[in-house]
Structure 1
Amino acid sequence: MTFSLDKIRTLLLEHQLLKEFVTTDGWHLQLTELSTRSFTKISYDSRQVDRDTLFFCKGLNFKEEYLVSAIQAGLSCYVAEQPYEVNAQCAIIVTDIRKAMAVLSMAFYDYPQNELTVIGFTGTKGKTTAAYFTKAILDQTTQNKTALLSTMNTTLDGVNYFKSHLTTPESLDLYKMMRQAVDNQMSHLVMEVSSQAYKTQRVYGLTFDIGLFLNISPDHISPIEHPTFDDYFYCKRQLLLHSKKVIINHETDYYALLAESINQAGVPVLTYGREKTADFQVVTDQTDSLAFHLSHTQQAVAHTNKQDLPMIDGDYRILLAGDFNQENAASALLAASLAGASVSDGQTGLAHARVPGRMDQLTHKNGASVFVDYAHNYLSLKNLLQFAKKENPTGKLIVIIGSPGDKAISRRKDFGVVLSELCDIAILTTDDPAHESPQKIAEEIAAAITNKQVDVRFEMDRSHAIESALSLCTAQDTVVIAGKGVDLYQKVLGKDEPYEGDYFIAKRLIEESDI
């Protein structure tokens, strides 16, 4: 792939992003001798550049010394929001570096999104589960030609997975991955879209074929993420305005505003939920808690052209417990149907769909139930604990939980609120502390536990915390290990430290137990 300065200039002008070019002979808007200068690589990592690389100076933590080292490695041209006093052949100065990177990245990789059916999920909880469900269904439809970008894992060939570093990758990485997916003969891409993806312009200029809004509650509120819930919610709902078709949980909070937004934008919409006021109603099977029926309602017939109504009425069964997972499955069925899936694809796909770290259940040798789940915000934790309480209403509910450092500070109080409502014993521990003290984070959670009946304990060694919970429980009790699921790393001081994984620790300890 080659990318000329003349093409770059045209794109930046088209999006009103160009300030000026700074070359060795001054500041210009036009290019003469340099217009044919081309690049075969693009990068925002100063350690991965050479003379043929177009380099983006992006990020709050960007330092001029990174650019200096890149130039020493042979770099001759960079893109930035300000010129630097360095010896570069050309500096491309833009009004917004992140928008510029998105615009130029998609062009460099020749707009791979146009060769895929792209489905995007957003919401405070359930994105990963719904995305995995959708991939499982579409794998039946496409014969495993569905790529996935999720919080936990990514696959660009439909088979091999690798660990994800961001829920939604940086724009440059996103379009590179899309191009790889296309080169791997993928026809569909299912991806999670975080609020930060819109906050930091990672998906600027991208239109999704199908966009889904699952739910909303306060999360990611912190000085380095979203300063307020309003900002978080605003970023979340941008997905609806940048999708060709939209699917919404009719029972999500603030539904009225979402409905007004899409109505104003003129985007076709379908809704799902437990009530008949939704276009598609989810009803749990009375004899099998893992099974449900999905059918369209009169509401759907009234406001949708019959030819646009997905034919997905049927009976389905999933491997994950909880009403909320059936609702995630309903969203996946709708999305997959709009992307070409049949009822049988949905039934087969959901019957075998597994989601790493979601509602993994173990049984203690004494009979106690043990649930391992990636629940890591207010809504997901509350739903998980309500389910666990419902399953064993007479026993104690023992919860192991922590909260990440350097982000989502509001979660700490939220966790304390949920634990106050539903927990009997809370063992507060480490969960990706980053540059913060895990003990301090745990104390902030504890400060929000107002129910004096909750037995609060501290154990910063997460393995020991799980061991302690398993030693405390009796046959009637339920142990919930929340936060990391099957994640094999703890983020500590900027590094991924190896970690055995909640599920594997619990499984090992139960097998080794003498009880």
Structure 2
Amino acid sequence: MHLNRLLDVLPVKSVFGSTEHTIRSIVHDSRRVKPGDVFVAIREPTGHDGHQYIDAAIDQGAVAVISEETQRNLPITTIEVPDTHIAFSLVAAKFFDFPASQLKMIGVTGTNGKTTVTFMIDAILRAAGMRSGLIGTTGSRYMDRPVAGAKSHTTPYPMQLHEALRTFVEENAEYAVMEVSSHGLVSDRLASVKFDLAVFTNLTRDHLNDHKTIEGYREAKMKLFSSHLDDSGCAVINKDDPSYAYFLDVSAAKVLTYALSSSADISRVGPVQCYSDRTVFNVEAYIGSTFPVSIPLPGRYNASNALAAMGVALSLNIPVDAILQGLKNVRVPGRLERIDCGQPFTVLVDSAHTPDALDSVLSACREWTVGALIVVFGCGGDRDRGKRPLMAKVACNHADYVILTTDNPRMEASDIIFRDTESGLASHVAAVTIEDREEAIDHAIKYARPDDTVLIAGKGDEAFQIVNDTYIEFDDRLVARQLIETHYG
């Protein structure tokens, strides 16, 4: 693609140099620039400023730079725009020929449940004979096959996002189902994307290191509905959440509500029965029918997730039989994922990393655990310090034994993270701090007795541990399996 074609979609303030270059790719990380690339200088909320790396990008072979600053004396083409975040999204969409416009786009936002709800929607669509792709925390995939896309971000950067969407289009997909993070929204990674359906799951404390207040966090989530949901689309909103009213009137789209604890367009009827391997409940829907639902995921909160997915499916007029079949078959990696090597106790891996998510997961485990409930968890470094003691308090409210360890300490000293977290521990609950995460998991497995439950929380299907600025291979599921086989194989 020629550079001058990219300019068609940009609100250009000035251009210096030739626009006749043939573009290889568009990059925002100067370390990844190759000859023929356009470099986009992005200012991140962390303070990282891509404008400081323009010279490095030139040295790597960039033929043009998109910048928020006037750059008159550079040896390459310079394009000045008001906002490089928006510009990056626009040129990425143009580079891949606007794939989002060729798909029915379904976006899911909220603090907890995004991954599970997207997997449920995908399973339902496939049970109905429709072709869909998934984008989110677990990566980008089409029909269970990984495709291009960044796994390190819930909502990928624009080039990875549109590359995945282009793959879906080429595979003749009808739908793209994706997680939409607050970071992705406020950094305008989705500036070029309109959604046909948008789902709000819940809002609890998270990412306050970025958004500062819960109100700021809520405003970020609302942007999916106010700026990206097509007026002819549909909003599916959790009526049980205290913030739901804020999401009702921010777009002109049709609204469907769902709820476990109150009346709604899609609501639970009667008890929610939770078992170690499934959840069973009845649903009453606005279409005038009541039907039983069984999902192979334990926990009352997963019943809520299922209602959200059902809201999307019903808005698409998918038959109830296909909805029930899809939910019956859904599998979600790293969400209460069972690690079974024949040991006489239960080992589960889950991504819960907020106080509310940990509370929900531990509550579910407590319902079926006959013996002791053991939890291994940590708190992320360089993140909201205020939630650390809350995590410990939640753990002590449910578990019989708490094992505190590291979870992506990043640039922060582990002893500071531990001190913050330990301040929330209760004196009546046995607890130990083990810095090495593998040793902590090993300790839990050696400590467990028949009928106990070991919950390894925080990372889910993540395959790395972030120490300083280095990504080290580490997968809780693989580590747990290896340790169980060592002790019980």
Instruction: Report the TM-score when normalising by structure 1.
Output: 0.85
C-alpha spacing 1:154/1:74, structure 2 compared with 1 (3 Å): closer
1:44 and 2:18 matched? no
Q: Is the 8 A contact 2:68 2:83 kept in 1?
A: yes
Percent identity of the aligned residues?
Answer: 28
In structure 2, the partner of 1:155 is 141
Structure 2 residues without counterparts, runs of 5 or longer: none
The residue number in structure 1 matching 2:363 is 386
Q: CA deviation at 1:366?
A: 7.5
Contact 1:404 1:432 in 2 (8 A): yes
1:215 is displaced (CA, Å) by 0.4
Quick one: structure 1 residues 271 and 86, their matched pair in 2 at CA, closer, same or farther if it must change by over 3 Å?
same
More displaced, 376-385 or 237-246? 237-246
- With over 3 angstroms needed to count, the CA separation of the structure-2 counterparts of 1:71 and 1:365, relative to structure 1, is closer
The structure-2 alpha-carbon separation of the partners of 1:493 and 1:245, relative to structure 1 and needing over 3 Å to count, comes to same
Question: How far 1:360 moved relative to its partner?
Answer: 2.1
User: What residue identity is the alignment partner of 1:253?
Assistant: P
Measured in 2, the distance between the counterparts of 1:172 and 1:160 equals 16
Shift of 1:374: 1.4
The answer to whether 1:406 aligns with 2:390 is: no
Larger mean Cα displacement after TM superposition, 336-345 or 207-216: 336-345
Kindly tell me: are residues 448 and 19 of structure 1, through their superposed partners in 2, closer, same or farther at Cα, counting changes over 3 Å? farther
The 3 A distance-change label for structure 1 pair 45 and 156 is farther
Are residue 58 (structure 1) and residue 42 (structure 2) matched?
A: yes
* Total equivalences in the alignment: 478
Match of 2:329 in 1: 352
Counterpart of 2:332 in 1: which secondary structure?
A: coil
Q: 1:90 to 1:329 in 2, by over 3 A?
A: same
How many angstroms does 1:389 deviate by? 2.0
Separation (CA, whole Å) in 2 of partners of 1:287 and 1:35 = 61
Superposition deviation, residue 255 in structure 1: 2.1
Give the match for residue 96 of structure 1.
83
* Aligned equivalents of 2:476, 2:24: Cα separation in 1: 43
Check whether the contact 1:220–1:409 (CA below 8 A) recurs between aligned residues: no
Q: Structure 1 residues 56, 328: closer, same or farther in 2, change over 3 A?
A: same
SS at match of 1:271: strand
Q: What is the CA distance between 1:161 and its match in structure 2?
A: 5.7
| SS of equivalent residue, structure 1 residue 414 | helix
Among 470, 473, 484, which residue is 1:510 paired with?
Answer: 484
| Aligned position for 1:207 | 194
Looking at structure 2, the residues matched to 486 and 177 of structure 1 have their Cα atoms a distance apart, in angstroms, of 20
Shift of 1:189: 0.7
Residue in 1 that maps onto 2:472: 497
Tell me the equivalent position of 1:279: 265
The C-alpha deviation readout for 1:466-491, integer Å capped at 9, x for no partner, is: 22122323345432211123433212
**Structure 1 residue 497: deviation in Å?**
1.0
Deviations 1:246-277 (A, max 9, x none): 00111012222223x34xx3221101112452
- Cα contact 1:105–1:171 (8 A) shared by 2: yes
Q: Which residue of 2 aligns with 1:28?
A: none
The alpha-carbon deviation at position 125 of structure 1 amounts to 0.6
| 1:471 to 2:446 alignment | yes
For the residue of structure 2 that corresponds to 1:435, the secondary structure is coil
Helix, strand or coil for the counterpart of 1:253? coil
- Given that 1:141 and 1:340 are in contact with CA atoms closer than 8 Å, whether structure 2 keeps it comes out as no
- Taking the TM superposition and a 5 Å limit, the aligned residue runs for 1:14-29 are 18-23=12-17
Q: Which amino acid aligns with 2:243?
A: Y
321-330 or 101-110, larger mean C-alpha shift? 101-110
Q: Which of 411, 431, 455 is the matching residue for 1:435?
A: 411
Measured in 1, the distance between the counterparts of 2:212 and 2:468 equals 24
Could you say what secondary structure the match of 1:474 adopts?
A: coil
Tell me the distance in 1 between the aligned counterparts of 2:486 and 2:64: 59
**Per-residue deviation, 1:182:** 0.9
CA distance in 2 between counterparts of 1:424 and 1:336 reads 40
Match status 1:197 vs 2:184: yes
2:211 maps to a residue whose letter is H
Contact 1:312 1:333 in 2 (8 A): no
434-443 or 131-140: which moved more?
434-443
Deviations 1:317-369 (A, max 9, x none): 21111111121112112213334532222222222211111112357977443
The whole-number CA distance in structure 2 between the counterparts of 1:287 and 1:398 is 19
Q: Is 1:226 paired with 2:211?
A: yes
Aligned to 2:256: 270
Residue of structure 1 equivalent to 2:223: 238
Q: Secondary structure at the match of 2:178?
A: strand
| Secondary structure of 2:211 counterpart | coil
Contact persistence 1:356–1:486 (CA under 8 A) = yes
TM-score, normalising length: structure 2: 0.89
Residue 457 of structure 2 is aligned with which of 453, 469, 482? 482
- Do structure 1's residue 249 and structure 2's residue 238 form an aligned pair? yes
Cα distance in structure 2, aligned partners of 1:287 and 1:11: 51
C-alpha change, 1:77 and 1:103, in structure 2 (3 Å) is same
Verify the 8 A CA contact 1:158 1:186 in the aligned structure 2: no
CA–CA distance in structure 2, aligned partners of residues 465 and 270 of structure 1: 44
Q: Does 1:168 align with 2:155?
A: yes
CA distance in 2 between partners of 1:124 and 1:483 (Å)? 14
Matched-pair contact (CA < 8 Å) for 2:89–2:188: yes
| Cα RMSD after superposing both structures | 2.7
Contact 2:257/2:311 (<8 A) preserved:
no
Q: Which has the larger radius of gyration?
A: 1
d(CA) in 2 for partners of 1:102, 1:511 = 47
Question: 1:431-451: per-residue Cα shift (whole Å, max 9, x none)?
Answer: 1222222333122111122x2
